[in-house]
Structure 1
Amino acid sequence: MNRPRVPTDIAEFERALAQSVTIASRAMPDSPMVSIVLCAESGIRTVACSHARAEPLDELQSAIGDGPVLDVIDSGRPVTATDLATDSRWRRFAAESPGILSLHSEPLESEGSLLGVLTLYSDHVGGFTDETRVAVRVTAEHIGVLYRTALDAARMREIAAQLREALTTRAIIDQALGIVMAQRRCTSHQAFEVLRHVSQDKNVKLHQVAATIVETVSGEPPQQSRFEEPPASHPR
């Protein structure tokens, strides 16, 4: 299964995950410890947990290279253990995490790609109720939606930033074009070709060439366009 590189700079997404695990833990009748790990370039990273004990359990699996979370990442399928003391799959993990007797790890997916793993840890033998398993699946699907929403928002912010930069540099280039047209008595197309040739010859970006021309002629840095963010809309 594909593993996308989860954007680590989406603070809203990680805050939403923290709220999700808290709500999920309270809503589940078994009151398990809940954690979420995301796939990162360097391995796995715990980004949210409902109890302080949960994060070290994730970190232990990463350190020893074995455990249910890593099995889910490898297979893309959920895993369950109803009694770790008698389960032969993760003997070292079980030995180094006393008190954890059952668990369930659910893959977190978005558009066919694996984001990470949602894990429930319990101090009780016997696994989890049917209601808890349903809640886990619903929570996992909800997190996939959160991820897509956060990623779309991040992309829109990036596009907006690129647009603002493009408009700003365009304003500087237009100022330089006016200067070249006046000095050489040429068309805007011919003036643009002058800037382009200088940019290529000096291996300098076009807007930097334009800024240098404007500052040389006027003695001041070029004027930049002012952009004001639109007011936030409020639901009625």
Structure 2
Amino acid sequence: MPADIEDFDRVLTECVTIVSRVVPDSPMVSVTLCARTGLRTVACSHAKAELFDELQSAAGQGPVLDAIGHGIAVTADDLTADSRWRRFTADTTEVRSLYSEPLEWEGSSFGAITLYSGDAGGFADETRVAVRVTADHIVLLYRTALDAARMREIAAQLKEALNTRAIIDQALGIIMAQRRCTSHQAFEILRNVSQVKNVKLYQVAATIVETVSGEPPQRPRFEEPPQRTADPKK
């Protein structure tokens, strides 16, 4: 899960709040994602839903873990008569029925959306269909947010590459003037110095520019392109 996705958690919270309100009996809803340290509840309609997720993570077993691990929906109509997750059910008596739908992308599960209820009897087919549709929307949100984060990272890398390239070009110009050589020969000189001193190429270039000019090289400023706005006439 990318750490710089700012609005992802907020949108998910809105999703689970809507689900909790529109499905019958207003169950507790949570969205859980896989993290390096275990499960991470990124959105929930009730604080207890997050607690139930944490209990499963601590116990190392539970319907959410099964849904994510096997990539199939997990349901329980009455946990008091269910022996599949004894370590989890032993720590809570407030949940009687639940339904956990995995979140799948590119052939693997990366999380789950789960309904918790204090009443036995499970959830109606219509409710489970609604949860599956919501899961699809969450996957789409995740993919969109991840793509946006990757684009921001690529843009930052491109800016850095352009900045360092400008400094290298300044250094090449200085070497060409001093050595009366071609740009290719100047680059070979710069690269050899970089290898001998075991210093990055642009750092050697920056030192050359600063030595000649008496001040650190000025990086070019790249302005963000203006954002497009929708034409109100259309």
TM range (shorter): over 0.9
Q: What number of residue pairs does the alignment pair up?
A: 231
- Matched to 1:235, the amino acid is A
Please tell me whether the aligned partners of residues 30 and 128 of structure 1 are also in contact (alpha carbons under 8 angstroms): no
* 1:127-142 map, 5 Å: 127-142=122-137
Answer yes or no: is 1:185 the counterpart of 2:180. yes
1:80 pairs with 2:80: no
- 1:192 maps to amino acid: F
Letter in 2 for 1:50: S
Superposed counterparts of 1:118-197, under 5 Å: 118-197=113-192
Percent identity reads: 72
Matched-pair contact (CA < 8 Å) for 1:29–1:131? no
Question: Is the 8 Å Cα contact of residues 177 and 191 (structure 1) preserved in structure 2?
Answer: yes
Distance 1:122 1:107 in 2: 18
Q: Which residue of 2 aligns with 1:3?
A: none
**Are 1:96 and 2:56 an aligned pair?**
no
Matches within 5 A, 1:21-60: 21-60=16-55
Normalised by the length of structure 2, the TM-score is: 0.95
Question: Could you say what the CA RMSD is over the residues aligned between the two structures, in angstroms?
Answer: 1.2
Counterparts of 2:194 and 2:201, CA distance in 1:
5
> 1:106 & 1:30 partners in 2: Cα distance?
18
Q: Unmatched 5+ residue regions in structure 2?
A: none
List runs of 5+ in structure 1 lacking aligned partners.
1-5
2:107 paired residue number: 112
Find runs of 4+ consecutive structure 1 residues off by over 4 angstroms.
Answer: none
Relative to the length of structure 1, the TM-score reads 0.94
Which one has more relative contact order, counting CA pairs under 8 Å at least 6 apart? 1
**Cα distance in 2, alignment partners of residues 176 and 203 from structure 1:** 18
Q: Is the 8 A contact 2:32 2:53 kept in 1?
A: yes
Taking the aligned partners of 2:135 and 2:69, their CA distance within structure 1 comes to 17
Residue 110 of structure 1 and its aligned partner are, at CA, apart by: 1.1
